[in-house]
Chain A
Amino acid sequence: IQLTQSPSLLSASVGDRVTLSCKGSQNINNYLAWYQQKLGEAPKLLIYNTNSLQTGIPSRFSGSGSGTDYTLTISSLQPEDVATYFCYQYNNGDTFGAGTKLELK
């Protein structure tokens, strides 16, 4: 299964509602996770099973979707959210999207 993330680069302002997209080449059956990776750090799990928030992750992060189309939403962008975000499917093997780089406008 191939994952296509869009956009590849997103510029937004503090307080903005931000939406990142991830589209699979076939049905993912909700076995989708999102990771945040800051420069020089390992990926950090944010969301698993499409919409389950990992312990310790702020509630401004949320996930949704079904079938082949999935979304990560940040309800109110904070400066510390600047990072690259990867989607990952574990329905059939393990594949990652190419990432969306989120920067402050």
Chain B
Amino acid sequence: EVQLVESGGGLVQPGRSLKLSCLASGFTFSNYGMNWIRQAPGKGLEWVASISSSSSYIYYADTVKGRFTISRDNAKNTLYLQMTSLRSEDTALYYCARRADNWANWFAYWGQGTLVTVSS
């Protein structure tokens, strides 16, 4: 069974940094691209960043480009999101997600999310 467990969220002041982690299990992590998706309180879903299986290809939403860095450690089955220069509008529940397959692009697997609150 695919499991994705996020951690690292919390309360952080504007301008500060935070690093999220997502521990994956139930599949061969190194074979799949991974993603971060966020949801502001009471709002819709926003794709944040993607990373390919070998980290060769990385993509970001314009709203976080230059401030967030997605990375992965295939030996530890872990996905990361380093967030810097945080703003109040980054307040959201951050989900780790995997597509159904490398040829099937819809998001099929989601973690439960980790909450990031940016406030002074």
A binding-site residues for B, Cβ under 8 Å: 31, 33, 41-45, 48-49, 54, 86, 88, 90, 93-99
Contact = CB atoms under 8 A, between A and B. Distances in A.
**Could you tell me the dominant secondary structure of chain A's interface residues?**
loop
Contacts of A86: 44-45
A48 B35 CA distance: 18
A33 B106 contact: yes
Contacts of B43: 98
Contacts of A49: 106
Contacts of A48: 100, 104, 106, 108
Given A43-B110, A88-B106, A93 B47 contact: yes
A96 B44 contact: yes
Contacts of B95: 42-43
Interface in B89-120: 95, 100, 104-108, 110-113
A54 to B, nearest CB: 8
Contact of A43 (B45, B50, B100): B45
Contacts, number: 45
Interface of B: 35, 43-47, 50, 95, 100, 104-108, 110-113
18 contacts: A31-B105, A31-B106, A33-B106, A42-B110, A42-B113, A43-B107, A43-B110, A44-B110, A45-B106, A45-B107, A48-B108, A49-B106, A86-B44, A88-B45, A93-B47, A94-B35, A94-B107, A96-B47
Contacts of B112: 41-42
Nearest to A34: B106
Contact of B111 (A31, A42, A94, A97): A42
A99 B44 contact: yes
B92 to A, nearest CB: 13
Contact of B45 (A31, A54, A90, A96): A96
Contacts of A44: 110
B79 to A, nearest CB: 15
B110 A96 contact: no
A22 to B, nearest CB: 12
